[in-house]
Structure 1
Amino acid sequence: MEETRRLADRFDLIEPVGGGSMGTVWRARDDNLERIVAVKELLLPHGQGEQKSDEAKNRALREARIAARLVHPHAITVFGVIDEQDRPWIIMEYLPSTSLADKLREGPMEADDVIRLSIQLCSALAAAHRAGIVHRDIKPGNVLLGDDGTVKITDFGISRAMGDVQLTATGEISGTPAFLAPEVARGEDATFASDVFSLGATLYTALEGGTPYGTAENPIALLYRASSGEITPPVKSGILTPLLTRLLDVRPDSRPTMTETERELRALAIGAPTTLVAEEPPPRGRKGVLIALIAGFLVLAVAAAIVVVVLTRGDGTPSDAAPPPSSQPQTGAPPSSAPVVPPQSVSSAPPSTPPSTPVSSSAPPPAAQTPGQALSAYYGLLPGNLEAAFGLLSDNFKRSRGQTLATYGNFWGRFQAVSVSNVTERGANSASATITYVRKGGGTESETATFVLVQQDGRYLIDSQR
């Protein structure tokens, strides 16, 4: 590469500091501004003709210019692009760093460290999305961990420009499909939602020590697996498991936005609930205090009356209830992977039994005689009686989901009703059912799942879901 030691009569290429299928990254000196920069030399596709090479070069220059619009403390800044020696060169900010891909060769990371890292990533990606910029290639290799603790994302749009993660004319795959959203693996255009999936796949890899799609010696097989969206459920991700499940939802419309993801990560970082609740402004002056006190007494009186009615009915809690689903509902926005137990709306209760009214009592429901009855009773408690419903989850279930009462309540706070139908016994300790959720903001979503229950102290507890 002797001919490239001096570039554009301005940049001295000092040494290569990275590279891959798309090209080589050089540490270089900008003589004009007297500073160290990174220069990415992009390799054009071979064996596809001059026209294809020109198209790739023009795309790379265009994508680099688009990326240059983003200036953010957690994104590598693009200073400029030049076309020299018949290939594109991208002049970028230089960050003394190692990539997340290199870091993960030492093994998976702890959830707290991944949360701190991902907050920085999300802040940059959310800003990019607000500016109309899709990254298209979020993966550990494009996440830089600075020597000073700074985290930055790099290579906006470059993979698409260079035809990365596509089948070549010879049937080979350039790049890896391990972090592709299913819709992109099927050939659709990358979107903000596909960036969200790729972020989820990156965080999954950092926590689990492997990619969501697993491994395959044949890259075609891995691409096929990616196109189906079938992932290996996370088992080591702790408090990040619910968020990861939402990020990796096969349905683009069901994934959170990058801004919502950043907000939830920041809440996790301080141990706060991840569903934001509007704060009620404090009453002003004595009159306001008096009104607040009267309102409080009225609420307590109504709640007490409801409890009396419920306790004197003699028919216990609604018969319609079911455990927290691990898979996402089939329509609408995805529930968190926390024990999915959306709000109440009882469809299988007897006609004479009205839908359960949310009650704060944590008393457990009467013992169910069969798994199907237990499933119905569980969902009949939700979303109003969280403590009692949470008590119907086995310790194994809570452990496998990293579930606490706080995260459980955070999940169910998004729903106003839930109903259960088509309850079918599947043996001595399992039952399947269709669960329909009603969101507070409007809209419904349904899923069908099978639940395994265990008996403990004379009660059925939900132990797993599939």
Structure 2
Amino acid sequence: MSTRMVAGRYRLLGELGRGGMGVVWRARDEVLGREVAIKEVRAPDGLDDHEVRRLYARLEVEGRAAARVDHPNVITVYDVAMAQGSPWIVMELVRGLSLSDILDADGALTPRRAAEISGRVLAALRVAHERGVLHRDVKPGNVLIGNDGRIVLTDFGIAVIEGTSALTRTGEVVGSPEYLAPERALGRPTGPESDLWSLGVLLYVAVEGGSPFRRDTALNTLRAVVDEPLPEPRHAGPLAPVIAGLLRKEPAERMTGPDAQRLLDAAAAGRRSYPPTVALPPSPPPAPLASTTVAMDAAAPPRPRRAALAVAAGILALALALAAAGLTWALLRDNTSGASSANAPSSAAPTTSAPTTTSPTTSASPRTIPPPALHLTVLVSATRDTYTGPCPPPDSAAPSFTAVITVSRTPATVTYRWHTNLSTTSDPAWKTAHFAAGDPTSRTITHTELSSPADYNPSTDWIAVDVKQPLTLQSNHVPFTVTCESPSPSPSASSPSASPTA
């Protein structure tokens, strides 16, 4: 028997899973004499001691919040034990398979079975939302189907740690971008509606056998989540209205939990039910200045476009299976294979009339093919987001940031500047990034913020990138903190002069 003990009571028996954020163990609680699952959390590489402590403190709080959710379809969190300086999340051990395992092995589910599973997941979410706990990583890998038939949603409250921009320093996004709600991808406030979106994607995957938004790169996947229409499901049957209602881009237009529950329960029981007519209003086009990705095509009539990708760089997901860790942003050109025919340039060749012997040779004017629409994405992340010391901060210690500017095609010219909220940035000048024909479509820029608002100490601010050409937009906001301290007086300055001896 293993001799390794955690917190003096949990004896580790063997690994259940491993990923970028740690290991899940099967363990025995020697105090209560029962087997449990225990998650050993490990901070990602690249964080300093302060960031690691902040991450672990947040995880401990989230784990204890998850323990408040008591529902048969929610994994039970027994304890959050601190050992070796890091949190260990102690949960019930559920023997069975994940929904992702079942889909991989058997393919898509029938609408009735998908409704049964999704209805239980929704019931769990609604109870958690009532207690103020968001899941933030609903996906098939976090849904367990027990050997006894019980359906359990895992990783409540500990799946995503938001608001810590330094956690993106390693360039990792752990989790599945295809299940991310548009408002989270855009850095907007999130709530229960974001979990409902993820449930809608899970339901689509369950009946169709594949994700509606997955693309060749993480960036293209998130762009599809935010900006592309939902492909019509072909095998959803009575679940089609639920999927359409949950996958509305705007949270306020999304189908509510009670309405979705009624439709899912009816489908699981084989009954016919009808969606609420008020849950699916048409989406109005957003204001142009709110857009982060804009299609520019002078030859085509204007059409509504949704605000597209400005990913809030501070998203960190922990999955019970601990898979998909270390997904690196591949900031490549647009995924044209996933574009709709309405956005693709025409492939018809210019035509001319055939010459004849009875009339002068004539030819039709060649048809002008417009260039493809230009999409522009700006993603900002922090390299260093805190400073404590004398102000203004020195270059070597001040908050610093990177931004990746990605265009869908070249040539292109982008005019941009850095922008903070509380004060004028230390580098307010407009700059230009030129993308010549044939150049890579992504470019990284850097910035060190040397300003420190005098009226706030400590000051918690955010920084973003403004773009004014070829379109007007602002990137995601990345928070940072500056704490100004007076330098310690030198001993000679603080000590009175020695008196001469008598």
TM-score bucket (shorter structure): 0.5 to 0.7
The one-character-per-residue Cα deviations of 1:348-404 (angstroms, maximum 9, x if unpaired) are xxxxxxxxxxxxxxxxxxxxxxxxxxxxxxxxxxxxxxxxxxxxxxxxxxxxxxxxx
Counterpart of 2:345 in structure 1 is none
Shift of 1:125: 1.0
Distance 2:275 2:235 in 1: 26
TM-score by length of 1: 0.56
Counterparts of residues 220-239 of structure 1 (less than 5 Å)? 220-228=219-227, 230-239=229-238
1:49 counterpart = 2:2:
no
Per-residue CA distance 1:197-246 (angstroms, 9 max, x = gap): 00111111111111120332x22222222232543221221211111010
Q: Deviations over 1:225-269 (max 9, x none)?
A: 223254322122121111101011111111122232212211222
**Any residues of structure 2 matched to 1:101-180 within 5 Å, and which?**
101-106=100-105, 107-161=107-161, 168-180=168-180
SS of alignment partner, residue 177 of structure 2: coil
> Percent identity over the alignment?
40
In the alignment, what sits opposite 1:460? none
Distance in structure 1 (CA, Å) of the matches to 2:155 and 2:166: 17
1:449-460, aligned counterparts within 5 Å? none
Structure-1 separation of matches of 2:45 and 2:173: 13
Deviation of 1:275 (Å):
4.6
- For 2:282, the aligned partner's letter is P
Seen in structure 2, the aligned counterparts of structure 1 residues 126 and 229 have a Cα distance that, compared at 3 Å, is farther
How much is the aligned-residue C-alpha RMSD, in angstroms? 2.6
Partner of 1:100: 99
User: In structure 2, what is the Cα distance between the partners aligned to 1:165 and 1:13?
Assistant: 33
Q: Take 1:193 and 1:273, find their aligned partners in 2: how far apart are those partners?
A: 25
- Identify which of structures 1 and 2 has the higher relative contact order when contacts are C-alpha pairs closer than 8 Å and 6+ apart: 2
Structure 2 vs 1, CA of residues 142 and 126 (structure 1 numbering), >3 Å: closer, same or farther? same
Q: Is the 8 A contact 1:167 1:173 kept in 2?
A: no
| Structure-2 separation of matches of 1:75 and 1:128 | 9
Alpha-carbon displacement from aligned partner over 1:430-451 (angstroms, at most 9, x marks no partner)? xxxxxxxxxxxxxxxxxxxxxx
Deviations 1:311-352 (A, max 9, x none): xxxxxxxxxxxxx9xx961259xxxxxxxxxxxxxxxxxxxx
One-letter code of the match for 2:79?
A: G
1:330 is aligned, of 262, 270, 283, to 283
Structure 2: distance between partners of 1:17 and 1:31:
19
- Matched residue type, 2:32: L
C-alpha displacement at 1:165, in angstroms? 12
Runs (4+) of structure 1 moved beyond 3 Å?
162-167
- Aligned ranges for residues 321-400 of structure 1 at < 5 Å? 329-330=282-283
The answer (yes or no) to whether the contact 2:38–2:88 under 8 Å persists in 1 is yes
Measure the CA separation in 2 of the matches of 1:44 and 1:162. Answer: 14
Partner amino acid, structure 1, of 2:225:
A
Q: Distance in 1 between matches of 2:115 and 2:268?
A: 7
Deviation readout 1:122-166 (Å, 9 max, x if unpaired): 111111111221111101111011011110001012232288999
Q: What secondary structure sits across from 1:202 in the alignment?
A: helix
Query: Does structure 2 retain, via aligned residues, the 8 Å contact 1:75–1:124?
Result: yes
Task: Name the residue aligned to 1:192.
Answer: 192
The 5 Å alignment of 1:206-245 reads 206-216=206-216, 218-228=217-227, 230-245=229-244
- AA partner of residue 139 (structure 1): K
* Unpaired segments ≥5 residues, structure 2: 286-502
Distance 2:138 2:223 in 1: 19
Provide the residue aligned with 2:251 in structure 1: 252
Letter paired with 2:155:
D
Give the match's secondary structure for 2:183: helix
